[in-house]
Structures are given as C-alpha cells and as structure tokens.
C-alpha cells in the first residue's frame, strides 16, 4: 500500500499535476472523507446525515438535512472529470451561479502559495422550505495529491432574507473565510 501511494504521488508530481508530493505518513494522517462521521468546523460539530456516491453532507446533530441552519459537505469529484482543474470547476460553478442568479454576489480567489481555490456564492432563495431564507455558501477546491481527484469542501448557512445581499455576504465572510482557509485538507 505504501509503495502504491508513493508511486502515485511521484507520478503525479512528475506530470506536474499537483504540488510537491507529501510523504506517505503525512498523507495518511489526513482525515479520510469516506471514514468521517462528524466534522468540527468553526467550533461546531456537524454529523453525517446524508451520503451518496461522491457526496457527504453534515449538519448539526439537532438539525435535519431538510431543515438546517448550517451545513458542511465534501464532494469528491468523479475521476472522469479529472481533466478539469479545481480552478476550472470553480469557474464553471461561478458561471452557472451568475447565470441562475444575476446580480447576486459571487467571488472566486486562488491562494497562490497553496494552489487552493476558494469561492463564495450568495443564493437569494434557499432550498429550505420552512421559512423565507437565503443561502450563503463558501467552497474550498483542491486536488488530492495522491489520487489526483478534486475535492470540494463546502460550508453553507441559511439566513433570513437580507435587504442587502452583498452586505450580508461581506459580514459573514469576515467570520467564515479564515475558518475555511484553516480547515484541514481531507483525503478521499
């Protein structure tokens, strides 16, 4: 197993697909998405409440997947989409967001030191059905250094519909952006 991981890491580094390879112990010390039953984010514990191929959704224990205030999730992008970089996927998500929600805030940034891409989307109408909510979402896109798969970490918060979406996005961003940047990288 270690030899296979080392070989994959080395091959990925040689083809320039990822940043420099991690040593195997460091990589294996990263939490495994597939084995994760709870996530701590912004000092709060989120429990696994939904899973399907490539998607794990977590909400606070007292909330349901249908009526949540906050949610975190992981998407492990299908291997057949590895031809797209994390930045390509983030750009496509922003374009789709802007097409569906013109005039709503959306931001895309890249950390040049780490190569990790971040985005924020503001949705005027949340999927939540038990009131009038908007949703603000923050995403962290990165390529797994061993498998080459793109992983997307996502934090979302339902908020009462604001009169000024941009102002709400900025205020929540001040709180969440440092948390999402500091959130550890997971492996598939």
Query: Which residues, in sequence order, are bridge partners of residue 156?
Result: 71, 137
Alpha-carbon span 179 to 131, nearest angstrom: 27
Is the model's pLDDT at 65 over the cut of 70? yes
Share of residues in the chain with pLDDT > 70 (%):
88
**Cβ neighbours, 10 Å, residue 113:** 7
Average pLDDT, integer, range 26-38: 90
Average pLDDT, integer, range 148-163: 94
**Averaged confidence pLDDT in the chain:** 86
Structure tokens given for 88: 């390509």
pLDDT of res. 22: 61
Alpha-carbon span 10 to 31, nearest angstrom: 21
**Which residue bears the tokens 């496509």?**
92
Dump pLDDT digits (tens) for 122-148: 999 888 878 789 999 999 999 998 889
Question: pTM of this prediction?
Answer: 0.83
Alpha-carbon span 80 to 93, nearest angstrom: 17
Is the model's pLDDT at 59 over the cut of 70? yes
Residue 91: which of 55, 134, 121, 136 has the closest Cα?
A: 121
Residue 71: which of 86, 55, 94, 89 has the closest Cα?
A: 55
Alpha-carbon span 97 to 119, nearest angstrom: 11
Structure tokens given for 137: 């979402």
Dump pLDDT digits (tens) for 4-28: 222 323 233 333 334 445 677 777 7
pLDDT of res. 17: 38
């Amino acid at each position: 197993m270690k030899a296979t991981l080392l070989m994959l890491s080395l091959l990925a580094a040689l083809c320039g697909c990822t940043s420099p390879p991690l040593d195997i112990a460091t990589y294996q010390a990263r939490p495994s998405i597939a084995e994760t039953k709870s996530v701590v984010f912004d000092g709060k514990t989120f429990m696994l409440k939904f899973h399907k191929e490539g998607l794990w959704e977590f909400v606070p224990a007292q909330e349901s997947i249908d009526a949540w205030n906050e949610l975190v999730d992981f998407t492990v992008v299908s291997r057949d989409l590895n031809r797209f970089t994390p930045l390509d996927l983030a750009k496509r998500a922003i374009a789709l967001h802007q097409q569906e929600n013109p005039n709503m805030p959306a931001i895309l940034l890249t950390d040049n030191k780490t190569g990790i891409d971040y985005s924020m989307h503001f949705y005027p109408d949340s999927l939540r059905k038990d009131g009038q909510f908007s949703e603000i979402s923050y995403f962290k896109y990165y390529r797994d250094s061993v498998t080459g798969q793109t992983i997307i970490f996502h934090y979302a918060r339902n908020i009462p519909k604001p009169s000024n979406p941009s102002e709400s996005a900025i205020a929540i961003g001040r709180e969440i952006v440092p948390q999402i940047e500091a959130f550890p990288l997971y492996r598939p």
